[in-house]
Amino acid sequence: MMVGPVGGTPRRRGFGLVEMAGAGALFATIVLITLQVVGWVASERAAVGRREAATRAAGNLMERILARPWADLSTESLAPLVRSLAGSQSIAPARLRVEVLAGPPLDGRGQKRVVVEVVWPDRSRINESPLRLVAWTFERKGNQP
């Protein structure tokens, strides 16, 4: 038996069974927490990706709508455009809604409020908070660009 430097106590070599079990439990706990965090980060990244796709789709739709002649802007006339975009794969489970409301004339020009709304479900099939884009467009008078 080897004797330690102080007081004649025996020197221990390596880990005992209890220390090994404790180290294994600690390691398993750290691995479990790390995997949970990685899973949470992955689901958050997927949610951000869905929101980005919805934002792009709403922005593109708003651009298409505002490029149309002012007199042709109505909820009914935009329905075919909304139906064609709603079926696209980029925002497959999302729902698009477009609403055009005429406002009172301003400075002798007509005005319309255009609302584009996108609603999409998260992983648990509960709808995320909707994304809404709102734009005002005004009737052009004479040769104004």
**Do 94 and 118 form a contact (C-beta atoms < 8 A)?**
yes
Q: Where are the domains of the chain?
A: 17-138
Q: Would you state the structure tokens that stand for residue 124, as one six-digit string?
A: 């648990």
pTM score over 0.75: no
Per-residue pLDDT tens digits for 37-75: 999 999 889 888 878 888 888 888 889 888 888 888 888
- pLDDT 10s digits, 14-46: 678 888 899 999 999 999 999 999 999 998 898
DSSP for 93-104? Answer: T-EEEEEEEEEE
Nearest to 90 by CA among 126, 49, 128, 127: 49
pLDDT, tens digit (0-9, with 9 covering 90-100), for 87-102: 665 556 777 888 898 8
Please spell the DSSP secondary structure of 2-62, one letter per residue: -B-SSTTPBPP-S--HHHHHHHHHHHHHHHHHHHHHHHHHHHHHHHHHHHHHHHHHHHHHH
